[in-house]
């Protein structure tokens, strides 16, 4: 068995899953527990970035934050992993997210910033550093807006892939993500939880588009929203 997460697409080279919120992409170093386990089942090699599962080795190609749900891509052989990692590095893989933010950032736009990391023990935090050349870019389109509650549903395309990028760039513009308990507005989060049963970070990796490493054909995989996110949108009239 490769995983107990819902499989969205699988063939001889690839496996893509809909990672649930609360599950790590790969375990943290140390003892494996119910909360410290990866999306794929088996021992994780941090050097190779592979899981040794009952059904064979799996190469993890990218990561989603623990509180983020959505499409996660892995391969079943080293050659496919190498080709797709090169595509990630060169920006050939298209990554789309859905997120719920406070306020109205406009119908569409491009955000460019310079992000830097700070580490405090095992914690990693990202910050916008003013006055430096941008190293983080995303494009967004507003796909829903609640006038009554002043919240926007955004479709975001990540051009770069920095740590916590969407959360930090949105919050720096006073549009924090709903349920973000690290960078967001804590009082607003409590209000959204109380009034709309928002129980988690509203950030979902909704779509991944890339070329198959063997056939060269375009592959598009979409992950449906979890029920708890759909319920929030319904309550907001979105």
Q: Is 120 a catalytic residue?
A: no
- Count of beta carbons in the 10 Å neighbourhood of residue 130: 8
C-alpha neighbours within 13 Å on the C-beta side of residue 203: 24
Please give the helix or strand (H or E) that residue 73 lies within, else none: strand 69-75
Cβ contacts of 150 within 8 Å, gap of 6 or more: 102, 103, 104
Eight-state DSSP code of residue 3: B
The strand pair at 203-211 and 69-75 is best described as: parallel
Please give the helix or strand (H or E) that residue 130 lies within, else none: none
Quick one: which of 206, 231, 204, 233 has its CA closest to 220? 206
The strand pair at 136-146 and 56-60 is best described as: unpaired
Catalytic member of 4, 65, 67, 89: 65
Tokens 């990672």, residue located: 19
Eight-state DSSP code of residue 22: T
Which are the catalytic amino acids? Answer: 65
């Amino acid at each position: 068995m490769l995983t107990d997460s819902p499989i969205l697409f699988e063939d001889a080279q690839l496996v893509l899953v809909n990672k649930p919120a609360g599950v790590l992409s790969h375990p943290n170093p140390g003892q494996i527990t119910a909360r410290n386990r990866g999306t794929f089942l088996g021992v994780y090699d941090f050097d190779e970035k592979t899981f040794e599962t009952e059904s064979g080795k799996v190469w993890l190609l990218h990561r989603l934050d623990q509180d983020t749900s959505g499409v996660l891509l892995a391969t079943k052989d080293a050659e496919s992993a190498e080709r797709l990692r090169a595509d990630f590095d060169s920006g050939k893989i298209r990554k789309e997210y859905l997120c719920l933010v406070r306020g109205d950032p406009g119908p569409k736009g491009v955000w460019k910033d310079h992000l830097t990391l700070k580490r405090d023990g095992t914690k990693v935090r990202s910050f916008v550093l003013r006055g430096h050349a941008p190293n983080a870019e995303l494009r967004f389109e507003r796909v829903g807006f609640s006038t009554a509650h002043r919240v926007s549903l955004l479709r975001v395309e990540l051009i770069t892939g920095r740590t916590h990028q969407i959360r930090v760039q949105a919050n720096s513009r006073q549009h924090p993500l709903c349920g973000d308990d690290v960078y967001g507005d804590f009082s607003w989060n409590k209000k959204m939880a109380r009034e709309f049963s928002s129980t988690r970070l509203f950030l979902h990796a909704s779509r991944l588009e890339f070329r198959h490493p063997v056939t060269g054909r375009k592959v598009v995989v979409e992950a449906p929203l979890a029920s708890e996110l759909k319920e929030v949108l319904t309550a907001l009239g979105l």
